[in-house]
């Protein structure tokens, strides 16, 4: 019988980070449907910062959302954790979908990703990216430079489907008018979403969502976050940085950025030793939202580890009275 070499499992930081996204989600959910995205974001940021600083890690925020959204933020370069090992770079979005929370809409999540230092893509001044993301079956057939019809035909073939059975998730933006027309001309269905393309990308790789591909222009920080989750889920993504205007092109040229380069999953995060966690704030296709029942709060999370391709689905029940006695966070 062949001798098998066993290795002691290393520490799975994702199982500790889920406490952080749960806390952020519960804090944001208190502002669900109340009309203020700033208040929801601030509550989630405060909760995420407090809980991150309780974890034994030496973390640096390299991708925070506040700068683009002009919202309260965990800022780029901020140190988090107790300063103990491991050393990690971190990408955070305490509320992906602040408008969704403010307006009482579905698919808002709290999310965080971590990877070894220097392995996450630095978008510099480029906040937007044209993307295509798919799950495992179609990971080897997509080409972001190919026509929409070619991509959809190849994805359908790879998944053993007809093209009119595919569902494409696209952000509902004026810039996508032509894309939407092309997808519909092919006969595929479209799920338009007002916000939340991290969740949209992950839907393509998670069973039961009914989503086959994400297409269109979304946030570059969101692409890095999604890449950490997609890698663990064995999906993939391609992207091309997307300048909004002449000023963006000028900034890209000054920074030496090639706006024609195709960024693969390995470009967005070059290590497989990644951790990604998302907790639902509002009910959605990917995750259930925060649910209040008497003295308890229910949360629903995805917890992934790239090294093992393990994806955990965690449902937690939190006792509010107990939490309020021991925590300064307003759950």
Say if CB 299 and CB 316 are below 8 A apart: yes
Confirm or deny that 219 is annotated as ligand binding: yes
Summarised one tens digit per residue, pLDDT across range 208-247 is 999 999 999 999 999 999 999 999 999 999 999 999 999 9
Confirm or deny that 128 is annotated as ligand binding: yes
Q: 45 is written with which tokens?
A: 């940021």
Summarised one tens digit per residue, pLDDT across range 256-287 is 999 999 999 999 999 999 999 999 999 999 99
Report the distance separating Cα 53 and Cα 214, nearest Å: 34
> With b meaning 16 or more CB within 10 Å and e meaning fewer, what string describes 2-30?
eeeeeeeeeebbbebbbbbbbbbbbbbbb
294's CB contacts (< 8 A; 6+ apart) are none
Confirm or deny that 89 is annotated as ligand binding: no
Confirm or deny that 23 is annotated as ligand binding: no
The DSSP line for 200-260 is HHHHTTSTTS---EEEEEEEHHHHHHHHHHHHHHT-EEEEEE---SHHHHHHHHHTT--TT
Q: What is the CA radius of gyration of the chain?
A: 19
Confirm or deny that 222 is annotated as ligand binding: yes
Spacing of C-alpha 137 from chain mean position: 20
Confirm or deny that 266 is annotated as ligand binding: no
Classified by CATH at the fold level, domain 126-266 comes out as: D-Maltodextrin-Binding Protein; domain 2 (3.40.190)
Report the distance separating Cα 97 and Cα 169, nearest Å: 15
Confirm or deny that 96 is annotated as ligand binding: yes
Report the distance separating Cα 318 and Cα 309, nearest Å: 28
Query: Which positions of the chain have pLDDT values less than 70?
Result: 1-9, 65-72
Confirm or deny that 208 is annotated as ligand binding: no
Confirm or deny that 189 is annotated as ligand binding: no
Confirm or deny that 81 is annotated as ligand binding: no
Spacing of C-alpha 111 from chain mean position: 6
Residue with tokens 């595929």: 188
Confirm or deny that 195 is annotated as ligand binding: yes
pTM equals 0.93
Indicate the domain borders of the chain. Answer: 11-119+271-322, 126-266
pLDDT of residue 1: 40
Confirm or deny that 264 is annotated as ligand binding: no
Say if CB 69 and CB 133 are below 8 A apart: no
Closest to 53 measured CA to CA, from 82, 89, 92 = 82
Confirm or deny that 33 is annotated as ligand binding: no
The CATH classification of domain 11-119+271-322, taken from the options 3.30.540.10, 3.30.450.20, 3.40.50.1110, 3.40.1440.10 = 3.30.540.10
Closest to 107 measured CA to CA, from 23, 184, 211, 236 = 211
């Amino acid at each position: 019988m062949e001798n098998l070499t066993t290795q002691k499992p290393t520490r799975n930081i994702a199982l500790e980070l889920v406490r952080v996204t749960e806390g952020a989600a519960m804090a944001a959910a208190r502002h669900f449907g109340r009309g203020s995205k700033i208040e929801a974001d601030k509550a989630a940021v405060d909760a995420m910062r407090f809980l991150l600083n309780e974890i034994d890690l030496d973390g640096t925020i390299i991708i925070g959302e506040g700068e683009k959204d002009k919202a309260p933020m965990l800022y780029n370069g901020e140190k988090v954790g107790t300063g103990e090992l491991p050393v990690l770079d971190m990408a955070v979005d305490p509320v992906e979908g602040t408008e969704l929370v403010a307006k009482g809409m579905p698919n808002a999540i709290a999310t965080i990703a971590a990877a070894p230092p220097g392995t996450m893509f630095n978008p510099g001044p480029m906040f937007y990216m044209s993307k295509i993301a798919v799950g495992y079956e179609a990971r080897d057939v997509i080409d972001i430079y190919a026509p929409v019809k070619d991509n959809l035909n190849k994805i359908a073939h790879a998944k053993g489907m007809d093209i009119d059975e595919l569902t494409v998730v696209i952000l509902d933006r004026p810039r996508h008018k032509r894309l939407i027309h092309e997808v519909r001309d092919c006969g595929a269905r479209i799920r338009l979403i007002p916000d939340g393309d991290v969740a949209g990308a992950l839907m393509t790789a998670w069973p039961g969502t009914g989503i086959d591909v994400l297409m269109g222009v979304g946030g570059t920080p969101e692409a890095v976050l999604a890449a950490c989750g997609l890698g663990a889920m064995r999906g993939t993504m391609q992207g091309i940085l997307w300048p909004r205007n002449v000023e963006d092109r000028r900034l890209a040229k000054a920074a030496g950025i090639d706006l024609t380069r195709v960024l693969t999953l390995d470009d967005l995060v070059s290590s497989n030793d990644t951790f990604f966690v998302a907790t639902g704030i509002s009910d959605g296709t990917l995750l259930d939202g925060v649910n209040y029942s008497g003295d308890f709060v229910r949360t629903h999370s995805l917890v992934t580890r790239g090294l093992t391709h393990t994806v955990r689905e965690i449902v937690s029940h939190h006792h509010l009275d107990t939490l309020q006695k021991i925590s300064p966070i307003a759950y």
